[in-house]
Amino acid sequence: MSLSNLIKEIFAGFSEVNVLERKAYLKHDIFYDISQENNKYDYYLDYYKKRGVASEKEREDLLYSSGVWSEKEDLEINKLKIQIEGASKVKKNLIYQSQIDKQNSIIKEFEDKCENLESQKRELIGRTRESLARAKSNEEYILNIFFKDKKFTEPLFSKDESLELEERDLFSLINVYNFAFDKFSPEQLKKASLENFFQSLIAFSENPFYFYGKPVSELTYFQLQIYALGRNYHHMLTQETEPPEDAKNDPDLLENWFQSYSNTRSLAEKSEGGDFSNKTVLGSGHFVGGATPEDLEKVGIKDGTSDFFSEMSQYTDESGQVNIAKIIASQDQK
């Protein structure tokens, strides 16, 4: 689906689909729908508890006692989560794109290891009353968001029809639902919010009520998400220094550029004079090394500083910071 059609569906508040040889309208979530789903989950959680289905904690204790899983693996998961959080905090303070790219790789490595361990544990734990409650509440939720009309006044299935659905028909509904909503992934919403025509609209609206003509409580999750993303990207695109062309239509590149630009500007403004475009020493007496010429150009630092950066880069350590000992040693050799 094209991004323009994706935005069209978001504005409409529904997706038109074909299911079980019927035309239907798949309603997009609003806050009330999500709260109702949570209530159903609580109902089924209690339902399976009364029928003696083991909880996740009980299954976890069984894994420990049988020796299939140990606290050592749990500690490794917690350690990786702490490393992810720490690496993400470091990334927020980085200045240059090359540094940010390297940090992204480190974070991705931690995330992959963590997901692999958590996936192993989920598979060993198996079915629990929590997982069954989630599955059952999701089934009911999906059955209740298919409608015969665009105004959502007539459900696609009556209560009796819902109870009589065969398992294969239910699976078909779930597949249609998943296929319809997969296109609204966070990545796709980000790309759609950067579309030129959407950005041209968002530039004239600082309030979602005036943008959609509805109270926020009546807006769908997708409508709220794309509006918030659009406003955020509008802010990034309208900075004093224009982002690189390749970043204007790529959310990840734009976010990384803006982080680099913001951190560089913040440091430059703290240094003497506050002239952002010509700073070589960022912060009083501090130099941020490890920058490539491309890094400097992207954040708006003029070419005249390149010789200084090239000279100082020979004294930086692996973290990209100037190593004073190296400078002193080089002076002694002279």
Domain definitions of the chain by residue range:
17-182, 246-333
Query: Are 256 and 294 spatial neighbours (Cβ–Cβ below 8 Å)?
Result: no
Query: Are 259 and 100 spatial neighbours (Cβ–Cβ below 8 Å)?
Result: yes
Q: Cα 275–279–285 angle (5° rounding)?
A: 110
Give first-to-last CA distance, the chain, whole Å. Answer: 65
For the chain, give the percent of residues with pLDDT over 70: 80
pLDDT in tens, 10-43: 999 999 999 988 899 999 988 777 777 778 899 9
Among 220-224, 260-264, 266-270, which is the least confidently predicted range?
A: 266-270
Q: What is the mean pLDDT of residues 70-96?
A: 91
| pTM > 0.85: yes or no | no
List the one residue out of 28, 17, 11 whose CA is nearest residue 3: 11
H-helix or E-strand spanning residue 26: strand 22-27
Query: How far is it, in rounded angstroms, from Cα 259 to Cα 238?
Result: 14
Residue 14 is encoded by which pair of tokens? 């529904």
Query: Which pLDDT value is given to residue 285?
Result: 34
Query: Which pLDDT value is given to residue 295?
Result: 61
Query: Which pLDDT value is given to residue 151?
Result: 93
Residue 218 is encoded by which pair of tokens? 């009546």
pLDDT in tens, 92-124: 888 777 888 899 999 999 999 999 999 999 999
H-helix or E-strand spanning residue 274: none
